[in-house]
Amino acid sequence: MKINETNRIGGVNPYQKQAEYRGDEVKKARQKDEVQISAAAKEMLTTSKLGNAERNERINELKQSVTSGTYHVEAGKIAEKLLPYLKE
């Protein structure tokens, strides 16, 4: 006995469900992301803007001391700050 075209038995396409599943993924991918900023984060933004003038003043002082050559780096303080990271 000879059976021809065995791939047509039952008329089932095994790839059809997979194609439908991928179509759903494309629809999900088209959704847009949303970002919500909490009240605490908004407060942090406003407080950082208030201290911005003091920060700018400090930065200008550092720039002037570096350009004039009077900026001094304390190696001991740098080593103390780096030590915990180097121990890990």
Domain coordinates in residue numbering, the chain: 39-87
Euclidean distance between CA atoms 86 and 83, whole angstroms: 5
Euclidean distance between CA atoms 88 and 74, whole angstroms: 23
The pLDDT of residue 44 is: 83
Euclidean distance between CA atoms 86 and 88, whole angstroms: 5
Encode pLDDT of 12-56 as tens digits: 666 666 666 666 666 666 677 788 999 998 888 877 666 778 888
- All residues at 6 or more sequence positions from 65 whose CB lies less than 8 Å from its CB, including other chains: 71
Two tokens, residue 18? 């997979």
Two tokens, residue 84? 């915990």
pTM for the model stands at 0.37
The average pLDDT across 1-5 equals: 64
